[in-house]
Amino acid sequence: MKLLIHQYCIYLAILVSFTACKKDFLDAKPSSDILAPATLEELNTLLENVNVTNKTGALAQVSCDDYRIVSDQNFLSLPTATERNAYLWQKEIYEGESSNDWNIPFSQIFYANSVLQVIQEKNLGKLTESNITKGWAYFVRAYALFDLARNFAPSYRLETATTDLGIPLRQSAGVDQIIPRSSLQETFDQILSDLTLAGNLLQTNIPEENRNRPSKVAALAMKARVYLYMGNYTDAERYCDSTLLFHNKLIDYNAISRTSDTPFGYNSDEVIYQSTQIVAYGLSSGVGNPMLSIEVNPDLYRLYASGDLRRTIYFKTNSLGRINMKRGYIGAGIYNFTGLATDEIYLIKAECLARRGASEQSMEVLNGLLIRRFNNKDLYVSLKATSPSEALTLILQERRKELIWRALRWSDLKRLNKEGANITLTRTINNITYTLLPNDPRYVFPIPDQEINYSGIQQNIR
Amino acid sequence: MKKTILYIVLAVLCLIFSAKAQTQPFLLTGQVSDQGGRAIPNASLQIKGEKTTALSNEEGKFFMKSTKPTGILTVSHIGYEAVELDFNGNSLKPFNIILKEDNSQLKEVEIVSTGYQNIPKERATGSFVLIDSALLNRRVSTNILDRLDGVTSGLIFNRNKTPGANDFNIRGRSTILGEDKPLIILDNFPYEGDINAINPNDVKSINILKDAAAASIWGTRAGNGVIVISTYKGNYNTKQKISINTNITIGEKPDLFQAPWFSSSHWIEIEQFLYTKGAYTTVISNGYGAISPAVEIMDQKKMNKISYADSLSRINELKAYDVRNDMLKYLYRSNVNQQYAFNLNGGGNQNRYSVSAGYDNNLYSKTTDSYNRLTLNASNSYRFLNDRIELTAGLLFTNSRSKSNIYNYSPGSPYERLADSEGKPMAVRNQLRLSYIDTAGKGKLLDWQYRPIDENLPETQSGLTSYTINAGLNYLIINGLKASVLYQYQLQTIEQKTAHLKDSFYARNLINRFSSINSTTRSVLRIIPSGDILNDLRTNYQSNNARFQLNYDTYMTEDHQITALGGIEVRDNHSENIAQTLYGYNESIGINANSTIDFTRDNPLYYNPASSERIDPGQSTGYILDHYVSFYFNGAYSFKERYGLSFSIRKDESNLFGVKPNQKGVPLWSAGLLWNISKESFYRAKWLPYLKLRASYGYSGNVSKSISAYLTASSTGPNVYGPVYGRIVNPPNPSLKWERIKVINLGLDFASKKNVISGSIEPYFKYGIDLFGESPLAPQTGVITYKGNSANTVTKGIDVTINTINLNGAIKWNSNILFSYNQDKVTKYLVAAGTNSAVTSAAYNNPIVGNPYFAIYAYKWSALDDKGDPMVIYNGTPSKAYSVISSSLDRNNIRYLGSLVPTKFGNIRNMLSYKDLELSANITYRLGYYFRRISLDNAAIYGTKGFQSEVDYDLRWQKPGDEKNTSVPTLMYPNSAQRTNIYTYSDILVEKADNIKLQDIRFSVQLKNPFKHAISSLQMYVYVNNIGYLWKANSYGLDPDNFRQDITSFSSQKTIALGLKANL
């Protein structure tokens, strides 16, 4: 019996000591591959995911008139129905294919909301370093929302914005909620308020070696882009001025290699915020590689004067003798730059000046940019305009030339046609000519089938 | 809670034995064995006139007490003649009791094992299948699990789903996204290493635990059933036995001509058509992209580089070749597997031992692929202190080496040639155009040609070393109460090396890709230095398991028997892997050139400098760590051997990620009842002397390591700017729970007089609760698919086993018939499965409420229209609106046809013997399932390997009117994916997969005492496996379990094995 008591005590001792060390044993992290982000450092790694956060849609590039497809055969061999249909501005474009044009910006919003949510749940907002992370998340959300708005919502008109359909505004990371479409006015209010929040929280200067990260300058520059799209030229100019106050660097193209296939790095001086086109539709919208099925719109290419360095820095002749795009401010890769850069800000500034009648000042700004694009062996002949409208025409043409292949042409067409520019696009495939009239509802892309099927939000009428 | 349960168990047990310990009895000890010296466990012992009874243990040993010094001890056991022995308490020596077999009685008692305890099957309330060594050894194989195929009630190999793999389910699939593999237990503890490290010749028996009463003692991991593998151990007081088994298995060469290929000439016609259509224009114009020899000729002719006559004769030359002849000649062989096994076991009074060794050497049908394995298995037990303490130690060692070629040759054209007429290896196209390679670099680059015969080398060698060390201590505290401590350590290391020697195509190609030639000096600059390229992957798996357990087993009085066990188990599993790639490697001096390479640089490609790539650093490390602490209890009570009651509970706590602490532990329990009707006094049916009813109810669980309650991310590596970036894996899910499986099992066991007919019938119901489900979400959430506790399933089934003795004279004829029916149904799935296009094309993941998980859906075929376009019924009328049909969510526009996996299956095995000759054959049947026949595939034909897609080409619509005779659509260029899919996934292509197969035949001759007693017995056997189908429901002659019809997946090959088994 004594023996028994002894044994019982031993079992008890084993049990007790066992319970004590059990907690650590069961708290061990189960895998090296997985982590639950809980610190600002870990949250920043999510925003560093440039494959998600620093991307914009591709449909706008596929549909625009920067380029043409060389032959019917090349058209037929495009791998996705979406790009074939988008090229011809068909009413229905996806044929059941999913579209990252819609999905990726919403992933960006999800990443941003997740980061903001963890900061709130873990009370990280008290730390001063959290400002940058929060500002970053707000910027990413605004950037994504604007990309969605310019592709999937109609042109902004003050008169109708409160009734026009905008984009679902998601403010939390919870995946169990479906948000209906907001009005276009609400969408733009959200974009601008997120940019204001971001501008107040972020550091002022551009992180020179990490231009995938936003800054106050980026928030200001983005506001200039957004106001321009909205047709609010006063505010657009105001934000150009604020941007240029902090960052006005332009690259002198005389210092850039004319033979390299990769003339610029991704941290180029002009880059204010880095983003590139999503990985999609490479055969119709890719750059850098010899793209044998497409060529730069010959009418557009003709506009580059002989002393214009962009003829060799932007373009390259492929083995078929046709003009292809080289890479812009992206370093390597085949999907071009769509981010914010100083040249765009100067062009917005010039345009706004011309629109308010300051034609002389506007030409000064434009020439300040162009002199860095022309070969300095020859004397640069400044462009002159006798009237504000002539200045505007010149500036818009230079805007088109400078900002080719940055996914901006499509939204410019929307904006300019809205103001009466009356630009009609045509394409011919298999001897059929396709026409896109100004202000056609087909300037707004349909929302992908998956979204309509699973959330039931309202489809665009094309 | 967990502690409380254990305390109560301990307290109760202590009280029970302390009460008993107060008497001072005469102790009777001894051992019960059969005439061959084998121990008889569970023999029942009783002293006449006293209430005391006892059972012999696993070694046949028994201990019991008598209040009187003298008396009569009766010893009985089913299947043996009972004996009575006098004893005298004053001169007690251990009894050595030998029981004679009694053929007139029921057959030998089967002992089933749960991995925690061994119980006689007749006392088990749960559902067990015991596969004994005779049945395991009927089959010849390298892998132990293969031997369960076609002989195990309720277990099915999903051969149609994953041919050739160990993909099987016990009683269907009880999960959606969780783990669907049964838990494997090797000698007491879970085994998670490579299953090939277990030599089947070392396995004594396998138990399959199918219901909750049997399996729930394994808790959260038992939801898919449990397979308990027990290896050979020696027995005490047994003569040393030596057995030797050797065999050789020879298989057929694979039949490459089974695949529906276009003939070379026919394929060239199609290539001509595609060439005219401009399908190759883009590739040809870039100058370096690979094109086929025929397209090269067409292009040269078009460019007027060769004459029309030349092109014709060169094309005609190509038409004469079929690359499959070369492949069979140079790349394939008949496979030959050799197996040698040796076992020695025995035991004295104080120790028992078993030592075995095995060697396997397999040469597979690909000439580069082979496998060899050496296994050693030793176990030894000592007992002392009046046999109260037993110490056991065991070691299982495996060393295996496999060789293979990762970069297999895959033909690019049907008329490719691997060797010229003299047998000299020839170059075929790889990624680059042959004419480009010929001139690229003007001799400055390394040879860029790809000659499959030269590359047909075992570049990958993988070595596995595995140790499993067992240690155990059993202490018989007092008669009936045993404490045991068990410990197991497992270490498994796998090192996989892929050596691309410097002359290999892999190395030459990679070096050339990243080379550049200076335009002025003409010197070659290499980013990757010349030398071997070595990929090295090491995986290290370690597990520590420890268990403390108390077992209690006694008759409280004559009529009441209680057995109970309870314990704590701790488990620590740790696996880590490390991979590295060495460039410019020189094996002889052990140096590499990695330090000269900048892995973050974008390097232009030689053939296309505009595009650039980084060099893969090929380095990774990672680990997985599983920690479990478990508490378990199992108790059984039986009354007069007529009624039985069992109860089992287990709680597992683990470190699995992100489950909130209060949900980390899940208590899972089960209860079972049995009623031995034939022991009732009112039972009179003499023709059916054994009749038993069983019922059980309970829960087991299932885990998934891929799901978490928190927002989780994985770190992916540095982005181009330098910082590490993360990817969100899982959106937060605060209400996450583990999956549970509720199982209700009923059983009826019976045996007629002299076992002429015996068997069992077991209906069961399984309810999957809170199963993880993946659901598509609206993309606006930012997440395309999402996992959560979104699903429930119900599985209904029945397992029937019937054994018959048809003849029992000079000729003996026994039959074993298994029938299983299993139908699962998804009863809850929160989010819709997607568009009809997603539903029809989903291969094996298709949870839709009301139907099985593995279900086949199809569009409702209508007909071809007068243009040869497929039409299906959409909203009641034939339609060609392909995109509307595809994206429709209305399930009325598609049909559910049935299950993709068999719902009725089993086998009929007959065994005939006459004197020393034995013949057995197994016929298996798999019924109640469907497969999708492959027909003309517009996408594949115009894809890169289109020549492999000849199916139904001749039947296609070609001219108006054809639609009356065919349903194969016309070919369209370019392919329209939706149009092709509508046909591919329509119901005219769904076929019944039902089949009956003659699985195998075994014939053996047994020679007793040949060679004048040098050998006590010698068996020679022939085993033929995969003999062929006796019947197939489909009329196309397709193998329903391998209908893919391409040369990379072959139907199971027929093999023949010859073997010898000797006992010394």
C-beta separation of B420 from B426 below 8 A: yes
A445-459, B881-895, B1020-1034 — which is least confidently predicted? B881-895
The partner residue sitting opposite B835, judged by closest CB among A19, A109, A453, is A453
Beta strands in A311-359 (DSSP E): 315-317, 323-325, 340-341
Chain A nearest CA to B69, separation (Å): 25
User: What distance in Å separates the CA atoms of residue A437 and residue B534, rounded to the nearest whole number?
Assistant: 60
Q: Which two tokens stand for residue B630?
A: 């478990």
ipTM for the complex shown: 0.90
Record: fold of B23-99: Immunoglobulin-like (2.60.40)
Q: How do strand B226-231 and strand B183-186 relate by DSSP bridges?
A: parallel
Q: What is the pLDDT of residues B362-396, one digit of tens each?
A: 999 999 999 999 999 999 999 988 888 999 999 99
Q: How confident is the model at residue A382 (pLDDT cuts 50, 70, 90)?
A: very high
| Cα-Cα-Cα-Cα dihedral sign, residues A266, A271, A276, A277 | negative
- CA angle at residue B664 from B661 to B668, to 5 degrees? 140
Interface touch A212/B732, C-beta < 8 Å: no
Q: Where are the domains of chain B?
A: 23-99, 111-236, 264-321+410-449
Q: How confident is the model at residue B14 (pLDDT cuts 50, 70, 90)?
A: very low
Q: What is the pLDDT of residue B781?
A: 92
Q: Which two tokens stand for residue B931?
A: 């497969």
Residue B909 per-residue DSSP state: E
Q: How confident is the model at residue B663 (pLDDT cuts 50, 70, 90)?
A: low
Interface touch B281/A77, C-beta < 8 Å: yes
State which H helix or E strand residue A388 sits in: helix A388-402
Record: fold of B111-236: Ferric Hydroxamate Uptake Protein; Chain A, domain 1 (2.170.130)
The partner residue sitting opposite A29, judged by closest CB among B10, B625, B714, is B625
Q: What is the pLDDT of residues A290-309, one digit of tens each?
A: 888 899 999 999 999 999 99
Within 8 A of B274 by CB-CB distance, chain A residues are none
Q: What is the pLDDT of residues B85-112, one digit of tens each?
A: 887 766 567 788 888 776 544 455 678 8
Q: How confident is the model at residue B25 (pLDDT cuts 50, 70, 90)?
A: low
**DSSP helix/strand/coil, B366:** strand
Residues 17-76 (A) with a CB less than 8 A from some CB of B: 18-19, 22, 25-37, 42, 44-46, 48-52, 71, 73-74, 76
Structural domain count, chain A: 1
Q: Which two tokens stand for residue B91?
A: 């001169």
Q: What is the pLDDT of residue A254?
A: 96
Closest C-alpha among B460, B408, B418 to residue B328: B418
Q: How confident is the model at residue B43 (pLDDT cuts 50, 70, 90)?
A: confident
Q: What is the pLDDT of residues A418-433, one digit of tens each?
A: 999 999 999 999 999 9
Q: What is the pLDDT of residue B911?
A: 95
**DSSP helix/strand/coil, B559:** coil
C-beta separation of B773 from B176 below 8 A: yes
Mean pLDDT throughout A42-51? 95
Is residue A21 domain-resident? no
Closest C-alpha among A212, A210, A252, A221 to residue A372: A252
* Residue B297 one-letter amino acid: I
Q: What is the pLDDT of residue B770?
A: 87
Within 8 A of B475 by CB-CB distance, chain A residues are none
Q: How do strand B643-654 and strand B666-675 relate by DSSP bridges?
A: antiparallel
Give yes or no for residue B563 having a pLDDT over 70: yes
Residues 962-1001 (B) with a CB less than 8 A from some CB of A: 973-974, 976-978
Give yes or no for residue B556 having a pLDDT over 80: no
Residue B263 per-residue DSSP state: P
CA nearest A25 in B: which residue? B627
What is the DSSP annotation of B484-512?
EEEEEEEEEEEEEEEEE-TTSHHHHHHHH
Interface touch A76/B974, C-beta < 8 Å: yes
Mean pLDDT throughout B135-162? 88
Q: What is the pLDDT of residue B540?
A: 94
Q: What is the pLDDT of residue B664?
A: 55
Within 8 A of B719 by CB-CB distance, chain A residues are 48-51, 212
Q: At how many degrees (to 10) do helices A216-230 and A342-355 cross?
A: 40
Instruction: Please give the mean pLDDT across all residues of chain B.
Output: 87
Residue A114 per-residue DSSP state: H
Instruction: Please give the mean pLDDT across all residues of chain A.
Output: 92
pLDDT winner (highest mean) among A262-266, B63-67, B662-666, B903-907: B903-907
- A232: Cβ contacts below 8 Å, ≥ 6 apart: none
φ/ψ of A263, rounded to 5, equals -65, -30
The partner residue sitting opposite A26, judged by closest CB among B612, B627, B781, is B627
Q: What is the pLDDT of residues B209-261, one digit of tens each?
A: 999 888 888 888 888 999 999 998 888 888 888 999 999 999 988 888 888 89
Mean pLDDT throughout B594-598? 91
Could you identify the residue written with the tokens 């140096």?
B591
Could you identify the residue written with the tokens 């999800």?
A110
User: CA B201 from chain center: how many Å?
Assistant: 18
Residues 322-351 (A) with a CB less than 8 A from some CB of B: 331-332, 334
Mean pLDDT throughout B784-813? 91
The partner residue sitting opposite B656, judged by closest CB among A30, A111, A118, is A30
Q: Which two tokens stand for residue B669?
A: 């329990």
Chain B nearest CA to A136, separation (Å): 15
Could you identify the residue written with the tokens 């812009």?
A328
Domain that residue A282 falls in: 40-295+305-455
User: What distance in Å separates the CA atoms of residue B359 and residue B337, rounded to the nearest whole number?
Assistant: 11
Q: How confident is the model at residue B661 (pLDDT cuts 50, 70, 90)?
A: very low
pLDDT over 70 percentage in chain A: 95
Mean pLDDT throughout B886-905? 90
Interface touch B623/A292, C-beta < 8 Å: no
Q: What is the pLDDT of residues B473-522, one digit of tens each?
A: 999 998 889 999 999 999 999 999 999 999 999 999 999 999 999 888 88
| Cα-Cα-Cα-Cα dihedral sign, residues B138, B142, B143, B144 | positive
Q: What is the pLDDT of residues B905-957, one digit of tens each?
A: 999 999 999 989 999 999 999 999 999 999 999 999 998 889 999 899 999 99
User: What distance in Å separates the CA atoms of residue B520 and residue A30, rounded to the nearest whole number?
Assistant: 57
Q: What is the pLDDT of residues A399-423, one digit of tens each?
A: 999 999 999 999 999 999 999 999 9
Q: How confident is the model at residue B21 (pLDDT cuts 50, 70, 90)?
A: very low
Which domain CATH number covers A69?
1.25.40.390
User: What distance in Å separates the CA atoms of residue A67 and residue B721, rounded to the nearest whole number?
Assistant: 31
**DSSP helix/strand/coil, A115:** helix
C-beta separation of B800 from B822 below 8 A: no
Q: How confident is the model at residue A6 (pLDDT cuts 50, 70, 90)?
A: low
Q: What is the pLDDT of residues B423-439, one digit of tens each?
A: 999 999 988 999 899 88
User: What distance in Å separates the CA atoms of residue A64 and residue A281, rounded to the nearest whole number?
Assistant: 13
Q: What is the pLDDT of residue B236?
A: 86
pTM of the model: 0.79
Q: What is the pLDDT of residue B104?
A: 47
Q: What is the pLDDT of residue B106?
A: 43
- Polymer length in residues for chain A: 462
Q: What is the pLDDT of residue B15?
A: 38
Q: Which of A25, A187, A278 should one mutate to test binding to chain B, selecting the residue with the greatest count of B CBs within 10 A?
A: A25
CA nearest A274 in B: which residue? B721
**DSSP helix/strand/coil, B216:** helix
User: What distance in Å separates the CA atoms of residue A214 and residue A220, rounded to the nearest whole number?
Assistant: 10
Total Cβ atoms within 10 A of residue A393? 13
